Structure 1
Amino acid sequence: MNAWKDDSAYSAPPRLEEDMCTSKDGVHLEVLRSKTSSPCIPVILVPGMIGTATMFAERIEILQPRSGIAFSHRGCGKSSSPTEGHYDFASRCLDIDAVVDHFQLQEYFIYGFSRGVPMAIQHALDNPGRVKGIVLDDAEPIYPRLTHSWTQKMVAAQFLWAHPFALERIQKESVECDLYDRLPEIKVPVLIFRGELDGSLLSKGAALRMKARLPLAELIELPNSGHGATLEDFPDFREGMNAFFNRLDPRPEARPA
């Protein structure tokens, strides 16, 4: 495994800005955020297992004027790749803490996609006073135990934005963490997205199980999507997410005088 994509030529869209922050265990993390500030509660976007900030550029833009902040997981994109012992579930959750500390956020929403779902949930459980709402996109609240075949699959698929060393360590340090039993502890509103086509990581039964265990949850199913909203479903995805955030935190022009 020696292929690794060089993202140094990437430039952020005009309305977005690149930044860096550092985790408590010394990992330097690539950040992509809205360039303009807003009085609205911001959204932290947590990518999937080996996701990067740039993958969420469009999601950040659809949130505007609400501020969005996405980061690249350790070992992915322009984020640094620490040595072994820094890729277990708890260490990876430190990446979210780093964003909160860097921007000195006192309250925020959190969005988790794919395997970022359990990371977002764990962070919300650890920060009940700060997280004001959660969006969980197409995955169960379970961080998986990965096999060597997963690493081989990632290499074969040429997901070259993840450092090869990071892929090996993510797999070797992975231990299953099932958060289903802790979902009732989350008292803030939650929006769940689920793709209905093949490829979705969230079955109908699992989505209903999550909804039943979350005190304030709603479910939106995307009929033309598998894992992640397709072009056909993206308008419904965009409108559903913005309606959820705006209901909890109305934009200034919609707030009573």
Structure 2
Amino acid sequence: MNAWKDDSMYNAYPKLVEDGCSTTDGVHLEMLRSKSFDGGIPMLTVPGMIGTASMFAERIEMIQPRPGIAFSHRGCGGSSSPSEGHYDFASRCLDITAVVEHYKLQEYFLYAFSRGVPLAVQHALDNPGRVKGLILDDAEPIYPQLSRQWVQRMIAAQFLWAHPFALERIQKESVECDLYDRLPEIQVPVLIFRGEQEGSLLSKAAAQKMMDRLPKAELVQLPNSGHGASPVDIPDYRDAIVEFLNRLDPLSVARPA
């Protein structure tokens, strides 16, 4: 399904294409992507626990002319909210696979933010020949078991892009999945971001633990950021991402200023 019409007047993201696909368990996923896939190996973005594609439109635009794709998690944004039994860790990993298969991607980079990190790590472990590099932004490779208090916090924060039913099912179907011991299996280069301010989900000790287990990892500390790059750190953050991607897949076309 392609919801995009070639008229920027009706498109909230005129530089991007609004798109959609379906998973093997029948979930419709909302997506944003670059208009062209001709600018090198694409970067597929995996949002945080209840993230949406629109939250990462800037990430796609900052790597141009390299193509980028982002999707909204099931039950979030314009993605459909399936019945119970479809919100466990394995089911949520299906969303990444659905996007890859929809675009018939043979090789791609994965960028993951927050609780999307364990989902991306699992996908990389399952697809070692296709994932060319990983960018893991401010979280450990652990999918958490969530408490009832988590649901209450999400509702209180009025994160209106997440369906209340989805929040309930994400919590009830959550089981901790710790992937630290499998990190040595990832042989591709990995770029890790860590915010140094309060609110970061990646402690200094946890970042070092990841570095010790990943054969080809590098760490970028963001001194003015908590959970997510702050406006002050955005230039260095952007440059680190673009340099990492272009080092692994050099582009012949200069990136726009």
* TM-score in terms of structure 1 length: 0.94
Partner of 2:82: 82
State yes or no: 1:127 paired with 2:127: yes
* Letter aligned with residue 42 of structure 2: P
Q: How far apart are 1:14 and its partner, in Å? A: 1.4
What 5-or-longer segments of structure 2 have no aligned partner?
Answer: 1-9
Partner of 1:234: 234
Partner of 1:63: 63
Deviation per CA, 1:178-235: give whole Å up to 9, x if none: 0000000000000000000000000001001101100000000000000000000000
Partner of 1:159: 159
Cα distance between partner residues in 2 of 1:43 and 1:168: 30
Partner of 1:136: 136
What 5-or-longer segments of structure 1 have no aligned partner?
Answer: 1-9
Cα distance between partner residues in 2 of 1:201 and 1:121: 16
Deviation per CA, 1:89-118: give whole Å up to 9, x if none: 000000000000000000000000000000
Q: Contact conserved, 2:65 with 2:253, CA < 8 A, in 1?
A: no
Partner of 1:170: 170
Partner of 1:18: 18
Q: How far apart are 1:35 and its partner, in Å? A: 1.2
Cα distance between partner residues in 2 of 1:211 and 1:77: 33
Q: Contact conserved, 2:21 with 2:28, CA < 8 A, in 1?
A: yes
Q: Secondary structure at the match of 2:201?
A: coil
Cα distance between partner residues in 1 of 2:81 and 2:234: 33
Structure 1 runs of 4+ with >6 Å offset: none
Q: Contact conserved, 1:15 with 1:36, CA < 8 A, in 2?
A: no
Partner of 2:221: 221
* Letter aligned with residue 245 of structure 1: L
* Letter aligned with residue 219 of structure 2: L
Cα distance between partner residues in 2 of 1:82 and 1:50: 14
C-alpha root-mean-square deviation of aligned residues, in Å? 1.0
State yes or no: 1:251 paired with 2:244: no
* Letter aligned with residue 91 of structure 1: S
Q: How far apart are 1:11 and its partner, in Å? A: 3.5
Deviation per CA, 1:125-165: give whole Å up to 9, x if none: 00000000000000000000000000000000000100000
State yes or no: 1:35 paired with 2:68: no
- Give the count of matched residue pairs: 245
* Letter aligned with residue 161 of structure 1: W
Cα distance between partner residues in 2 of 1:91 and 1:133: 23
Percent identity over paired residues: 73
